[in-house]
Amino acid sequence: MSEAEPTPGRNLTKEEAREISRAFARASEQVSIYLSEHHDSLTKPQRRDLAALEAKLMARAGNFSAVFIQLAMAEADQSIAVLTGAIDEGEKFLKKVATVNRAITVLTAALTLATAIAAKDPKEILKQGKVLKKQLGM
């Protein structure tokens, strides 16, 4: 059996449901055409039976269209769940990046202050002390 052929005990794929729906719709259309083309030569019971068959085939087409829609929606729900998970992971990563960036900024300010202290430059020590204080949120 090919991958597209249904096997017993297995759920339909959305593609299979769509194809089955289309097949029922085509069969209904063929019955309708036959009924129209041979209307005058058919007995009333034959016309009634063919009209009932046409309606049953269209109902089955509708049933499989509904299955297709349900399967497509379930697939969309799964995709949304995957995307939501990816977005959550991305947000966590961005928070980590922001934390690392903040740490680098604070470290840079501290190193610049240390350089000013080593140079024994009071103006630069005061300036870099204010920068570090600002970076620390104080």
- The answer to whether the CB of 30 falls within 8 A of the CB of 58 is no
Place of tokens 């729906």: 21
Position 1 scores a pLDDT of 43
Give me the residue spans of the domains in the chain: 14-135
With a cut of 50, say whether residue 3 has pLDDT above it: no
- The answer to whether the CB of 134 falls within 8 A of the CB of 122 is no
Q: What is the mean pLDDT of the chain?
A: 87
Position 10 scores a pLDDT of 66
pLDDT digits (tens, 9 = 90+) for 64-95: 999 999 988 888 888 888 888 888 888 888 88
- The answer to whether the CB of 58 falls within 8 A of the CB of 4 is no
pLDDT digits (tens, 9 = 90+) for 110-129: 888 888 888 888 898 889 88
Specify the pTM.
Answer: 0.55
